[in-house]
């Protein structure tokens, strides 16, 4: 259920198979509050019969299960791709809010506009207020864990010859945040980078 590299999942699947044990990938999507409420999204992959055996357990903690076929590592590819989209959305919000702020519009107004209109989704509704108010503690998902996930995504992209130019930018953004001691803040704290680049501070 961890967010690991697809290559690690392949190795684990092979090692389990050598001992006659089924291996299933089932990383989850959702912050601690969703986990506590049994509302996680579960990305499932593996052989059919083992998946059927674990479904009752997964249904206890998940709101919805997405099946990515019989190769267990496919679930890890999907999770890394999803997390890439989340951190990219956080960066887009950060730049948009900063642009608005420097041109006379409050960050909170932009957060409301985006989340209540064409970007009315979980990520914008969930992270928008945090980015608007620069509210990154306590962490729902620590930045250093997000950094790990992005590195795994870029490693997999390199192994599969998949250019990810936005991912390369996000790598530097997250590395900068880590260098500034923000690793234990929420990963949405990368938004501080856009604010600082514009000559502003989190208090202005």
* pLDDT category of residue 11 using cuts at 50, 70 and 90: very high
What's the average model confidence in pLDDT over 108-116? 97
**Extended strands (E) in the chain:** 28-29, 40-44, 62-67
Average pLDDT of the chain, as a whole number: 96
pLDDT digits (tens, 9 = 90+) for 174-201: 999 999 999 999 999 999 999 999 999 9
* pLDDT category of residue 18 using cuts at 50, 70 and 90: very high
The H-or-E segment that residue 173 falls in is helix 165-179
pLDDT digits (tens, 9 = 90+) for 19-63: 999 999 999 998 788 888 999 999 999 999 999 999 999 999 999
Answer yes or no: CATH 1.10.10.10 is held by domain 6-75. Answer: no
Task: Work out whether the CA dihedral 165, 181, 151, 95 comes out positive or negative.
Answer: negative
Q: Is 180 a catalytic residue?
A: no
**Domain limits, CATH 1.10.1040.10, in the chain:** 84-197
Gap between the Cα atoms of 137 and 158, Å rounded: 33
Which pLDDT score is estimated for 33? Answer: 83
What's the average model confidence in pLDDT over 145-158? 97
Q: Which CATH number fits domain 84-197: 3.40.50.300, 1.10.1040.10, 3.30.70.20, 4.10.490.10?
A: 1.10.1040.10
Catalytic residue among 79, 101, 102, 144: 79
Which pLDDT score is estimated for 104? Answer: 97
């Amino acid at each position: 259920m961890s967010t690991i590299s697809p290559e690690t999942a392949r190795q684990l699947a092979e090692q389990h198979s050598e001992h006659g044990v089924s291996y299933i990938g089932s990383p989850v999507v959702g912050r601690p509050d969703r986990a506590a409420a049994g509302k996680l999204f579960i990305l499932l992959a593996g052989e059919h019969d083992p998946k059927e055996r674990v479904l009752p357990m997964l249904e206890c903690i998940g709101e919805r299960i997405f099946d990515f076929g019989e190769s267990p590592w496919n679930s890890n590819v999907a999770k890394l791709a999803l997390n890439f989209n989340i951190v990219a959305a956080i960066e887009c919000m950060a730049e948009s809010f900063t642009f608005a702020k420097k041109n006379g519009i409050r960050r909170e107004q932009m957060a409301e506009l985006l989340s209540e209109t064409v970007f009315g989704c979980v990520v914008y509704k969930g992270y928008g207020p945090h980015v608007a108010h620069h509210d990154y503690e306590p962490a729902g998902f620590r930045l250093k864990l997000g950094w790990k996930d992005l590195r795994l995504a870029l490693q997999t992209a390199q192994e599969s010859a998949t250019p990810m130019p936005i991912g390369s930018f996000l790598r530097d953004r997250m590395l900068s945040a880590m260098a500034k001691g923000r690793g234990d803040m929420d990963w949405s704290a990368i938004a501080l980078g856009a604010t600082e680049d514009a000559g502003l501070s989190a208090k202005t």
